[in-house]
Amino acid sequence: MPTLSGHTSAIRATAVIGTSVHDASGKKIGDIEDIMLDKLANHIMFAVVSFGGFLGMAEKYHPVPWSSLKFDKSRGSYVVDFSKEQLEAAPAGSIDELARNDGQDFRNRAFDYYKAPRYWETPRH
């Protein structure tokens, strides 16, 4: 069953990691490197999108709210409604930095930057 963001209700993390991320025009802007989970709220905190660099050197890691990613079955990739330039200006750091303080610092910065709804402030039923 699809969720509000268009995702199916279950997918293995291993199937998501390594998946390409494209902008709305179809241009590849990166790959999903990892997924940060909010264990206490039982949510996906954000996807870690990598781009830039060469062979893993000088690569940047950007936290992107999970709700900002839409899966395009025909391409087999995720699509975002922002450009590579917007992603380049977004909060970024090393994977260790993204996970510091339980990931909350980068989670808050990313959700503010992308103006994504804050799942942790939404009442649960």
Domain that holds residue 96: 13-116
Q: Which residues pair with 64 in a beta bridge?
A: 47
- For residue 30 the two structure tokens come to 């990166």
Q: What are phi and psi of 111, to 5 degrees?
A: -65, -35
The CATH number given to whatever domain includes residue 74 is 2.30.30.240
Q: What is the pTM of this model?
A: 0.83
Specify if 5 maps to a domain.
no
Judge whether residue 125 has pLDDT over 60: no
**Measured distance CA(95)–CA(102) in Å, rounded:** 12
Please tell me the predicted confidence (pLDDT) of residue 13: 85
Specify if 42 maps to a domain.
yes
Rg (Cα) of the chain, in Å, rounded? 14
Nearest to 65 by CA among 6, 112, 122: 112
Number of domains in the chain: 1
Judge whether residue 1 has pLDDT over 50: no
Q: Which amino acid is at 113?
A: Y
Contact between 70 and 98 (Cβ < 8 Å): no
Specify if 46 maps to a domain.
yes
Specify if 125 maps to a domain.
no
Q: What is the pLDDT of residues 65-114, one digit of tens each?
A: 999 999 998 989 999 998 778 888 999 999 899 999 989 999 999 999 99
